[in-house]
Amino acid sequence: MEIFNNISIGDLEEPNILHTKMERIDSKKDDEALKKVCKDFEAIFLSMIFKQMKKTIPEGGLIEKSLGSEIFEDMYIEEISKEISKRDGGLGIQEMLYQQFKQGYVSW
């Protein structure tokens, strides 16, 4: 009979097994949270890069830009940045950050 996903009643007879299994579950959740934060950081970083690149394009042309079109372009850049970071590990920044945090190179 299983109580949780990976814990059976037979395992509960050993005194520390529940504690070690719960630690593993917590560490898996922590890993997933760390991966998500690294992915979000890469998306924000890409968004900042794209916005700076957009500033280099000279303004002018046939149609004036309204406040609405500027807001739309900023939202579009943010969504593109999120999509790039989601696909196949993005640019690789998120994986580098994740490995550095996991291996203890970066500390608080």
The model's pTM: 0.69
pLDDT at 4 over 50: no
Q: pLDDT tier at 7 (50, 70, 90 boundaries)?
A: very low
Task: Tell me the Cα Rg of the chain.
Answer: 22
Query: So where are the chain's domains?
Result: 9-103
The residue assigned the tokens 């149609």 is 63
What's residue 31's pLDDT? 83
Q: Please tell me the distance from the alpha carbon of residue 98 to that of residue 3, in angstroms, as a whole number.
A: 32
Tell me which of 45 and 19 has the higher pLDDT.
Answer: 45
* Residue in this structure with the two tokens 């550095």, named with its chain if needed: 100
22-49 per-position pLDDT tens digit: 556 567 778 888 888 889 999 999 999 9
User: Is the distance from CB of 42 to CB of 86 less than 8 angstroms?
Assistant: no
